[in-house]
Each structure stands twice: as structure tokens, then as C-alpha cells.
Structure 1
Amino acid sequence: MYVTVIIFLLTYAVMAVGRIPGLQVDRTGVALLGAIALLVFQKITPDAAWAAVSFPTISLLFGLMIVSAAFMVSGFYDWVAARATSLSIGPRGLLAVMIATSAVLSSILTNDVVVVAMVPVIIQLCMARRLNPIPFLLGFCFASNAGAAGTIIGSPQNMIIAQGMNLSFTGFMIAALLPSLLSLVPIWGVLSFLYRNRWTLVAPAKPLQALPGPPPLNRLEVAKATLVTVLVIAAFVLTSWPRGEIALAGAAILLVNRTITSADMLKHVDGNLFILLGGLFVVNAALATTGLPQQIITDLHAHGFDFQHPLTLYVSISVLSDIVGNNPAALLLVPYVKAGNPEVSGAAMALGSAFASNVVVFGSLAGIIVVEAAEKHGMPISLAEFSKAGIPVTLLTMLIGAAWLLLLV
């Protein structure tokens, strides 16, 4: 038992720090190392380790990543970013468009893929217009996290929650979509206030570049990807077929292509995320065999702490998401949630992990992607600047989520 607990604690400690000090081992690497250590020390059998990995969750995530990748390789994301940024409106109006675009796309497609695809284009187009990219990047990031909370297909942690708790597509959306949309208002308001005098790009005087036009768009592939997406969502809503198999079927249709190679599609699948999730599935399963998590929950309940209450779950996953990340937090909590109203509890966890992840850069993969992309383009976003906007955004959106949950329970 002690070896298992030590490996578990060390794994999640590195999740919180980001990498093993003194070594080039990141969160994905340590999740894999933790799983290997448990196998080597025979704290979990190979069969139990394989059984611990949730194939329905992995297949759902993989299939939807392929669907989202189809929009990327067809030029859809670049085209949307170029269209939005070229609108003849003021900075505040453009910020509103960016926030709405991010939220809508992230609620339908995997939010991390949306951010990866669109952020570099947003930076280039903002600089071409002599606009400071930072408020638009922060707005896109915050809205991506918040908008993704509205549906079970918006983010990996939502898929983990929905699969682990067997939530319906419509039931989850009814419980989570409205606060997800309402949260966009404070995101716009906070950023509009903080950057009210900093919309213009501060740079040496240079001739103004011509704003690039929309990139080439493969309309046939966009139409095909859109049709598959509609059919996949319809199957989620109208049938009882396993969601993982539905997503894989949609991915298979898109992979059969005469113009786009499967390699071009598959390179947009985040393999590191699957390794991280697989490792954590094994680490968490090994800890569960010790009986320690169940004993802790029982003891907390005996002292008046109702772990199953939606507000408790909302706060718990919010705190954990900022410590270890939203995907590990969801994996850690879901197996121990036995709620009377699973849709409300699932929505509480999705909203909490999404809203809280905007506090710090490393609270979400979207935040990391935005900061790294800005750094590459010579527009660094410091941890302090990110949190200066992220903290008030998180506080306001968390209040919206808490008020909504109080109405539901």
C-alpha cells in the first residue's frame, strides 16, 4: 500500500509542478513513469492496467479529434480566423467576435484543437492590423475553456466526466450550456476594461502591411466534415449507441479520403494527451485498490462534508484543476462520484474545471498553447499578465456557475 501511495503522490506532485525538477520529464512523461513503476513493483497486474484504461473515453476523444482535424486540414479554422479578424469593427467589437467564435467552435469541436489551429492566425492578423494581440488571445483562450464546458464534446475533461458518469448528451447540455454562455459576458467585460488603453500594437514604426485575405478553403472537405459532425451529434442525441463507437465511425468516414492523406489528419491528434490519460488511468486504478480514497470520502462524510453535493464537486474540481490540471482532476474525482442527479453533478464538475482553469497559464492546455504561440511570435504573455486578467474572469464566472447550480439543486 505504501509504495502505491508514494508513487501516486509523486505522480500528482509533478502534475502540479509541470516537470520533474532537474530533468526534462513533463506531465506526460511522469504519468507514464508512474504507471510503469506500479507495474515493476507489481502493485497492479498488466491485465488490471489494461482494464483500467477506459476504451470508451479514449475512443470518443480520438474520434472527435479526427473530426476536428478534418476542419483544420481543410483550411476552415484559418478561414474563420481571417474572416473574423478582417471585419471593419472596433477593437471591443472584434474582441466580442473572437470570444463568441471561440466559444461556439469549442462547444462543438475539441477546444484544444481549435486553439492550436486558430491562435497563430489570430496573432499574425492582429499584428497586420497593428492591434495588440494579447487581449484577443486571452479572450480566445478564456472563451475556449468556458464555451467548451457547455457540451460533453467540448473538452477532454468533459468526455472523461460524461463517460465515467454515463451522462446523456442533452441532459448534460441542459445543465451546463446556459452558465457556459453567460460566462462570456464577464470575459469580454474584464478584458475590455483592462486593455481599454492598450488596443494598439506597440512596435517600431513600419509601413502598415496589407491585411492578408482569407486563406484557400477546401469547401468540399468542409462540407464533408460538417455533415459528419452533424450526424455524430445527432447519433449522440437520438440513439443509445456507444458514443465512442459513434465518434470512431465518424472518424473512419473522414479518414477515407482521395485528396487528404490519413497522415495529415493523424498528425493533428494529440498523442501526448492519450499517453498522459492512459498513465493516469493506471495510477488511479492502483490507488483505488488500496481502499484509501473510499476511506477518505467516508471519513469526510462522517464529519459533515457532503462530497456528492454539486457545489462541493464544483469547488473541489476547481481547486484540483489549478493544482494538477483539468484532465487529471477529472480522472481523479469521477470514479468516486455517486450523485443522485448525475447530469447536474457532471455539469458542476465540467463548469468548475473550465472556469477555474483560467486563473493561471498552466490551468489548461489552451492557456499553455496561447502563451507558447505568443512567445514564438515575439509577443510574450507573462504569468502575471495572464493571471491579472484570469483571476477576475475566474471569480466572476465561478459566481455565475455557483448561482446556477444553487438554482438546480
Structure 2
Amino acid sequence: MDTTLFFFLMVYITMGLGKLPGFKVDRTGAAIVGALAMMAAGSISAKAAWMAIDYRTIGMLFGLMVVSGAFAESGFYAWTAQRVATLSVGPVALLGVLVVVGAFLSSILTNDVVVVAMTPLLISITLARGLNPVPFLLAFCFAANTGSAGTLIGSPQNMIAAQELGISFTGFLSVAGLPALLSLVIVWGIIAWMYRGHWTLPAPPATTTPAPAAPPPTRFDVVETCKATFVTIAVVIAFVLDAWPRELVALTAASFLLINRKIASSDVLKQVDGNLLLLIAGLFVVNAAMTSTDLPQHLLHDMRAWGINLNDPLSLLFASSILSNIIGNNPTVMLLVPFLDTGSHADILGAALALGTGFFSNLIVFGSLAGIIVVEQAASHGVKISFGAFARVGAPVSIVCMVMAAVWIMLIQHHA
């Protein structure tokens, strides 16, 4: 047990810090090394390790990443970013449009892929218009996180929670959709108020380099975008009908989009986040090995004695929100979901997980992968978003969203 606990703690310390102290081992590397170390140490057998990896979750994630990758390769994301950011509207209205677009795209496609694809274009286009890119990037990032909490396919952690708890597409939407929609008003309102009077950049001195020009028109393949759209609609309909296994639906959709005469399958597959898939596979093994020690079960029993019951949706909402800012939202869901009751209130528990990890992940930069992507890509384009600047806006957005989510959870609990 001591060896298993040691490896488990090392893996989750790395999840929290982003890398293993003293080594160049990131989160994915830690998950894989931890899984292999536990197998080598006898904490879990090779057969049990393979059985621990939920192929359904991995398959669904992979398939939907391919679908989202097809949109990226068709030029849809770049075209959308240019069309939205060049609208003849004022900064406040533009902020609202970006919030809606970010949330909508993230609710039907993987939010992290959407953020990766659109962030560089939003930076270049806002700079070309003389606008301060920071509030627009933060709004897009926050909306991607909160908007994606409303649907089963909005984020990897939602897919994991729904798959493990047996929640249907419509069941998930019915308990998480409305608060996700309301969160967009909160994101827009708080950022618009906090950045009032600070929408534009100072005029550069005459001796400096001219302002960057707007990026050239991007390649946009209408036929391929329509094909990807048709497949996405078919996937959503299949998920709503719930007549076939979700992983088979997602993989079938991926196979249709990979068979293409215009776009190479290798280019689409480049859009798949292989590191995330490996991280999830490794954590399945690490968590299974830890569960076999019965230590988590004893800890949960002790927590109930202290008045903390993870099967209470409100307690789960706050526990998952805090934990997600320590170890990340995907690891949080994977750590907690095996110990949740999959009975009649599974939908409400799933909503608590989705809203907790989605809404509170805007608190700090490292609360979500989307936040890390936005800050790092902004820095690579010469736009600095400091930890303090992110948290200064993220804190009130996260707190107000969480209060709203808590009220919603209490309401649906009362009427359940």
C-alpha cells in the first residue's frame, strides 16, 4: 500500500504543479510513468490495468476530436474568427458576440480544440483594429469553459462523467444547459464592466513600427465544412436518440471524415490531442490501483463522518470546483466519479461535476487547459496576460457563476 500511495501522490502532485519537481516530466508523462510504475511494483496487474482503461471514454473522446479536427482543417474556425472579429460593432457588442460564439462552438465541439484554433486569429485581428486583446481573449476563454459545461460533448470531463454515471445526452442537457446559458450573461457583464474605458490600446509613437495589419483571408472550404457539419448534426441526433453506444457513434463519425479526397487524414489526426488521451488512460490505471488498496473508501467514510458527502450534489459541486483548481478538471472528475452513486440522482451529480469543474476553472490560469492555452498563445504573440490579471477578472466571474450554480443545484434537488 505504501508504494501505491507514493506513486499516486507523485502523479497528482504533478497534476497540480504541471510538472514533476526536479524533472522534465509533464502531466501526461507523470500519468504514464505512474501507471507503469504501479504495474512494475505489483500494485496492479497488467491485465487489470488494461481492464481499468475505459475504452468507451477514450473512443468517444478520440472520435469527437477527429470531428473537431475536420472543422479546423476545413478553415471553419479561422473563417469564423475573422468574420466575428471584423464585425462593424462596438467593443461591448463584439465582446458579447465572442462570448456567444465561444460558448456555442465549445458546447458542440471540444472546447480546448476551439480555443487552440481561434486564439491566434483573435489576437491578430483585435490588434489590427487597435483593440486591447486581453478582455476579448478572457471572454472567449471563460465562455468556452462555462458554455461547454452545458452539454455532454462540451468537454472531456463532461464526457467522462456522463459515461461513468450513465447519463444520457438529453438528461445532461436538462440539468446543466440552463446554468451554462446564464453563465454567458455573467461572463459578458463582469468583463464589460471591469474593462469599461480600457478597450483600446494606446496610440504608438510615430517612430515605432506601424500597427500590425489584419491577417490575410484564410482558406475556407465550404464543402468540407458542410460535410463536417452534417456529420456533427448526425452525431448529436444519435446521442439524443441514445440507441447506439456513444463511442461507436463518435468513431463512426470520425471514420467518415477521415475518408477524404481533399484533406489528408494525417492532417486531421494532427488536431487530435494525443497527450490528453494518454493522460486519461494513465489516470484510469493509477486510480484503479489506488482504489484496490481500499484507502479511498476509508477516506470517503471518514469524510461522511465530518459532514462531507460527495453523493450530495451541493457538496460535490464545491469539492470538485476546489479540487479542479489544484489538480485540473479532467483528473478531478476521474478521481471522484468512481465513488459516486449512479442511482436516480446521477443526472444531478453529473451536473454538479460539470458546473463545478467548468465554472470555477476560470479562477486562475491553471484551472483549465483553455486558460493555459490562451495565456501561452497570447505570450507567443507579444500579448501579456499575467497571473494576477487573469485572476482579477476570473475570480469574480467564477464566484458569481458558482453562486448561481449552487442555487440551481438546490432548486433541481428540491424538485427531484
TM-score bracket, shorter-length normalisation: over 0.9
| 1:145 is the counterpart of 2:145 | yes
8 Å CA contact 1:344–1:405 kept in 2: the answer is yes
Q: Which amino acid aligns with 1:192?
A: A
| 1:289 is the counterpart of 2:292 | yes
* Counterpart for residue 96 of structure 1: 96
> What SS does the aligned partner of 2:150 have?
coil
d(CA) in 2 for partners of 1:216, 1:261: 15
* Counterpart for residue 221 of structure 1: 224
Q: 1:335 aligns with which of 335, 338, 344?
A: 338
Q: 2:394 aligns with which of 383, 390, 397?
A: 390
| 1:351 is the counterpart of 2:355 | yes
8 Å CA contact 1:86–1:211 kept in 2: the answer is no
1:127-171 CA distances to partner (integer Å, 9 max, x unpaired)? 110111100000000000000000010000001100110100001
| 1:236 is the counterpart of 2:245 | no
Q: Which amino acid aligns with 1:109?
A: L
d(CA) in 2 for partners of 1:304, 1:239: 37
> What SS does the aligned partner of 2:202 have?
coil
The answer to which of 202-211 and 229-238 deviates more is: 202-211
d(CA) in 1 for partners of 2:256, 2:105: 21
* Counterpart for residue 283 of structure 2: 280
* Counterpart for residue 43 of structure 1: 43
Q: 2:323 aligns with which of 313, 320, 325?
A: 320
8 Å CA contact 1:82–1:213 kept in 2: the answer is no
> What SS does the aligned partner of 1:149 have?
helix
Q: Which amino acid aligns with 2:40?
A: V
> What SS does the aligned partner of 1:124 have?
helix
The answer to which of 292-301 and 259-268 deviates more is: 292-301
8 Å CA contact 2:186–2:400 kept in 1: the answer is yes
d(CA) in 2 for partners of 1:4, 1:79: 49
1:83-110 CA distances to partner (integer Å, 9 max, x unpaired)? 0001011111100001100000000000
> What SS does the aligned partner of 1:283 have?
helix
> What SS does the aligned partner of 2:395 have?
helix
Q: Which amino acid aligns with 2:412?
A: L
8 Å CA contact 1:146–1:184 kept in 2: the answer is yes
For structure 1, list consecutive stretches of 5 or more residues without a partner in the other structure. none
> What SS does the aligned partner of 1:147 have?
helix
Q: Which amino acid aligns with 2:319?
A: S
8 Å CA contact 2:124–2:215 kept in 1: the answer is no
d(CA) in 2 for partners of 1:223, 1:4: 50
1:196 is displaced (CA, Å) by 1.2
> What SS does the aligned partner of 1:357 have?
helix
- Give the TM-score taking structure 1 as reference length: 0.98
1:234-262 CA distances to partner (integer Å, 9 max, x unpaired)? 01111321100100000000000000001
Q: Structure 1 vs Structure 2: percent identity of aligned residues? A: 53
1:295 is displaced (CA, Å) by 1.5
1:25 is displaced (CA, Å) by 1.0
* Counterpart for residue 126 of structure 2: 126
1:275 is displaced (CA, Å) by 1.1
* Counterpart for residue 136 of structure 2: 136
* Counterpart for residue 110 of structure 2: 110
- Give the TM-score taking structure 2 as reference length: 0.96
1:22 is displaced (CA, Å) by 2.4
Q: Which amino acid aligns with 2:6?
A: I
* Counterpart for residue 378 of structure 2: 374
Q: Which amino acid aligns with 2:359?
A: F
1:197 is displaced (CA, Å) by 2.1
1:341-368 CA distances to partner (integer Å, 9 max, x unpaired)? 1111101110000011101111111001
d(CA) in 2 for partners of 1:306, 1:294: 12
Written as runs of structure 1 = structure 2, the 5 A alignment for 1:194-205 is 194-202=194-202, 204-205=204-205
1:310–1:217 distance in 2 versus 1, CA, 3 Å: same
1:204-252 CA distances to partner (integer Å, 9 max, x unpaired)? 2454555446423100000100000000110111132110010000000
> What SS does the aligned partner of 2:362 have?
coil
d(CA) in 2 for partners of 1:239, 1:3: 42
* Counterpart for residue 68 of structure 1: 68
8 Å CA contact 1:83–1:214 kept in 2: the answer is no
* Counterpart for residue 188 of structure 1: 188
d(CA) in 2 for partners of 1:102, 1:347: 20
> What SS does the aligned partner of 2:123 have?
helix
8 Å CA contact 2:287–2:335 kept in 1: the answer is yes
* Counterpart for residue 13 of structure 2: 13
d(CA) in 1 for partners of 2:410, 2:39: 44
d(CA) in 2 for partners of 1:213, 1:30: 41
| 1:254 is the counterpart of 2:257 | yes
1:111-141 CA distances to partner (integer Å, 9 max, x unpaired)? 0000000000100100110111100000000
d(CA) in 1 for partners of 2:241, 2:88: 41
Q: 1:269 aligns with which of 256, 268, 272?
A: 272
Root mean square deviation, CA, Å: 1.2
Q: Which amino acid aligns with 1:252?
A: S
Q: 1:399 aligns with which of 378, 385, 403?
A: 403
d(CA) in 2 for partners of 1:101, 1:214: 20
1:354-395 CA distances to partner (integer Å, 9 max, x unpaired)? 011101111111001000110000001111100000000000
The answer to which of 177-186 and 202-211 deviates more is: 202-211
Q: Which amino acid aligns with 1:88?
A: S
